[in-house]
């Protein structure tokens, strides 16, 4: 979560640190409120629920329209029945498995469904759990990799007190992996981008491995451009490394988005537990799992892949509860919604929804390519995501100007530079999700078509500060 400081300076704020209230919102009538509530201090007296609701709702009106947010991978629309189910389950604490046994059973069923979907050798032996999202899931998977490495290191003949574990991954990984390495004191070894390759190279990753490598992370759907990393090729390179050196390096697949796309749209792509070197997989239920934030999932191919000492058995509210999590109490609503979505759509429904998103991405890519001002880098062939940049010769504006101008029409389209070795490349990225329809895509193309002639007439780029151009962060 974001780190916040205390009350901001409000020297120029005419409200002097209070919230203004429409007199009609006061339950007792326009004259019935003695004082306006403060902004940064808890009010002394209670307010009527209608007044409180009006205050909070009015402030939230300034948020962007979630349906027009093309930066986020997160689900922004669910059916009314799912909304109702989540409201009914919001008071249930997921951790109280003895108190809410049916919610716990729905979690177990979701794990079993994912184990089957991801081709676990024996779905009955696969181990997994729900999380608050892929970030927590990645932390849990990383801890398991580190603990397994620690066991191997303890058994080696030659160890050094200075041995530091390392994790190999592409420079395009999501920021949660940087957090993991920072929090758990693991050295990140990053495979750089090169040329038109915007993700990990299998051979380069294998060359970074040594006896202190806890694992290699493969990304099924890069957040930078939506492309799948070659998981099978990565495993093959590590198999060859094992044959040459004896180093046996496990792979974790970060399928935050792709693990809920590839099984339905790319069934012949081998990336999951069909590869023996894949020890664990995570996904975000709240991305292409089609559930509101925050639910994620992490699974291990078998019990051996998750060290037993990491699983706590807690005597809580009269029940013996095995738990592996960084959080404790959290609502059961998202797990219930995930199970609802699995039942509601089935494999055929998921295939239809994800195909529709990919079709919209293809349509957008074709429309943008017809605008001579842009060069399309990815067209939604993997994740339903496309990235594009300005064409050679365009000098009057940058992608940051385009992002700023699209925001004037309500579209939130991030602009950003790529990581080291390709920091010269700045792109716009559009995430096509369920709810972003072909009609909306057509309106977005209309906006681009209208604003590009205006941008061409600029004397030069207006948006020079990239940090201000977009609020998007990986």
pLDDT per position as a tens digit, 191-203: 999 888 889 999 9
Measured CA distances, 78 to 56, 69, 218 (Å): 23, 15, 30
Domain 83-155+162-341, what fold? 3.40.640
Residue 317 has pLDDT above 60, yes or no: no
* CATH 3.40.640.10 segments of the chain: 83-155+162-341
| Tokens encoding 425 | 């490349």
Measured CA distances, 466 to 223, 403, 447, 458 (Å): 18, 11, 22, 18
The model's confidence at residue 463, banded by pLDDT at 50, 70 and 90, is low
Find the mean pLDDT for residues 322-346.
Answer: 92
What does the alpha-carbon distance between residue 350 and residue 341 come to, in Å, rounded to a whole number? 9
What does the alpha-carbon distance between residue 268 and residue 270 come to, in Å, rounded to a whole number? 6
pLDDT tens-digit series, residues 370-423 = 999 999 999 999 999 999 999 999 999 999 999 999 999 999 999 999 998 899
| Tokens encoding 337 | 């919604």
* CATH 3.90.1150.160 segments of the chain: 355-469
Which architecture characterizes domain 355-469 according to CATH?
Alpha-Beta Complex (3.90)
Residue 473 has pLDDT above 50, yes or no: no
The 3-state DSSP class for residue 190 equals strand
- Cα radius of gyration (the chain): 25
Measured CA distances, 318 to 92, 108, 330, 369 (Å): 17, 20, 19, 62
Q: Which pTM was predicted?
A: 0.89
The model's confidence at residue 156, banded by pLDDT at 50, 70 and 90, is low
Angle, nearest 10°, between helix axes 438-456 and 399-408?
120
Instruction: Please give the helix or strand (H or E) that residue 314 lies within, else none.
Output: strand 312-316
SS3 content of the chain, % helix, strand, coil (to 5): 40, 15, 45
**For the chain, what is the mean pLDDT?**
89
Nearest to 225 by CA among 431, 472, 448, 469: 431
What does the alpha-carbon distance between residue 206 and residue 219 come to, in Å, rounded to a whole number? 15
pLDDT tens-digit series, residues 294-312 = 999 999 999 999 999 999 8
Residue 205 has pLDDT above 50, yes or no: yes
Biggest distance spanned by C-alpha atoms of the chain: 83
The model's confidence at residue 101, banded by pLDDT at 50, 70 and 90, is confident
């Amino acid at each position: 979560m974001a780190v916040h400081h205390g009350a901001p300076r409000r020297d120029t704020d005419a409200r002097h640190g209070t919230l203004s209230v429409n007199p009609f919102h006061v339950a007792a009538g326009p004259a019935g409120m003695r004082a306006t509530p403060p902004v940064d201090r808890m009010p002394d007296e209670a307010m009527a629920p209608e007044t409180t609701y009006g205050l909070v709702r009015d402030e939230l009106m300034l948020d962007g329209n979630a349906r027009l947010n093309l930066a986020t991978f997160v689900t922004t629309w669910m059916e009314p029945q799912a909304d109702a189910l989540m409201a009914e389950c919001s008071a249930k604490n997921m951790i109280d498995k003895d108190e809410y046994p049916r919610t716990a059973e729905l979690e177990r069923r979701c794990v079993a469904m994912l184990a089957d979907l991801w081709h676990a050798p024996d779905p009955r032996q696969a181990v997994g759990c729900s999380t608050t999202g892929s970030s927590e899931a990645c932390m849990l998977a990383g801890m398991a990799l580190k603990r397994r490495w620690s066991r191997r290191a303890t058994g080696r003949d030659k160890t050094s007190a200075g041995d530091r574990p390392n994790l190999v991954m592409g420079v395009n990984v999501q920021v949660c992996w940087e957090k993991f390495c920072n929090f758990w004191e693991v050295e990140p070894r990053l495979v750089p981008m090169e040329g038109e390759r915007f993700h990990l190279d299998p051979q380069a990753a294998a060359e970074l491995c040594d006896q202190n490598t806890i694992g290699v992370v493969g990304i099924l759907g890069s957040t930078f451009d939506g492309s799948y990393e070659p998981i099978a090729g990565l495993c093959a390179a590590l198999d060859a490394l094992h044959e040459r050196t004896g180093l046996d390096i496990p792979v974790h697949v970060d399928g935050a988005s792709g693990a809920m796309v590839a099984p339905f749209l790319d069934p012949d792509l081998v990336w999951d537990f069909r590869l023996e070197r894949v020890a664990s997989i995570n996904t975000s239920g709240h991305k292409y799992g089609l559930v509101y934030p925050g639910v994620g999932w992490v699974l291990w191919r078998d019990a051996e892949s998750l060290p037993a000492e990491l699983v706590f058995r807690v005597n809580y509210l009269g029940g013996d509860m095995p738990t592996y999590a960084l959080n404790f109490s959290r609502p059961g609503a998202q797990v219930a919604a995930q199970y609802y979505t699995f039942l509601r759509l089935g494999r055929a429904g998921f295939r239809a929804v994800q195909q529709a998103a990919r079709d919209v991405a293809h349509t957008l890519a074709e429309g943008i390519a017809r605008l001579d001002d842009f060069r399309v880098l990815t067209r939604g062939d993997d994740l339903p995501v496309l990235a594009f940049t300005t064409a050679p010769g365009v000098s009057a504006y940058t992608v940051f100007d385009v992002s700023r101008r699209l925001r004037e029409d309500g579209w939130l389209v991030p602009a950003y530079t790529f990581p080291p070795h390709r920091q010269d490349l700045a792109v716009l990225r559009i995430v096509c999700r369920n709810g972003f329809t072909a009609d909306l895509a057509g309106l977005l193309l209309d906006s681009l078509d209208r604003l590009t002639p205006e941008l061409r007439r600029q004397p030069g780029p207006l948006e020079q500060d990239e940090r201000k151009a977009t609020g998007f962060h990986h």
